[in-house]
Amino acid sequence: MGMSSRCRLPQLPLLLTALAAVQFTPPELYGQERTIVPGERIRVKPLIRPKDRVTGSFLAVTQDTLSFEARGDIRRLALSDIKTLQVSTGEKSHLAGTLTGGVIGAFTGAAIGVMIEKAASDCNDYCGWGTGSIGFIFGGIGGLFAGYNWLAHEKWADIPIESLRVSVSSGLLQFQVGL
């Protein structure tokens, strides 16, 4: 009996690892199809000018062409000319924006604090340290909130070009990703 309990012990970490892998694996990676409907936000990076990513709204796809609207223009790209295709997940990443806003706010607050103290009093060797540090703290806190709300980045999911296929449902032309 003691031997069987020792044999099961190594299985527990394997089970936990497998459960974690399933939980953190995006649905597209375990056999589900992703349908993209007209109007959904996409981001396309062409092979011709890979630095020029274009963001727009998906319109349609045929066997060899992707159509989307970007900045009021309807654009069509051959699927063979697309380096990457991404779909907006509808989520935003607030971490980078929060950190950036906090750093910018803190140093801006410190600079304003130092300028206020230098303008308001006769300075000695440590002029500006008091209000500069207070400005650093309050500017940083304000910057964290501002960065969280205004500097958030949209999250994107990669769509493999080779897995695109056309389907018709409810009279709308859509494309699906089958992995």
Confidence of residue 128 (pLDDT cuts 50, 70, 90): confident
In contact, 83 and 66? CB cutoff 8 Å = no
Specify the long-range contacts of residues 59-65, CB closer than 8 Å, at least 24 apart: 60/173, 61/164, 61/166, 61/173, 61/174, 61/175, 62/166, 63/166
Pair (22, 53) in one structural domain? yes
Pair (20, 35) in one structural domain? yes
Pair (126, 88) in one structural domain? no
**End-to-end C-alpha distance for the chain, whole angstroms:** 45
Confidence of residue 10 (pLDDT cuts 50, 70, 90): low
pLDDT in tens, 28-50: 444 445 677 888 899 999 888 76
Average pLDDT of span 147-151: 84
In contact, 35 and 157? CB cutoff 8 Å = no
pLDDT at 176 (0 to 100): 53
Pair (51, 116) in one structural domain? no
* Rounded-to-integer distance, Cα 128 and Cα 97, Å: 28
Pair (117, 58) in one structural domain? no
Total domains present in the chain: 2
Residue holding tokens 């400005």?
135
Pair (81, 45) in one structural domain? yes
Residue 144 is part of which domain span? 95-150
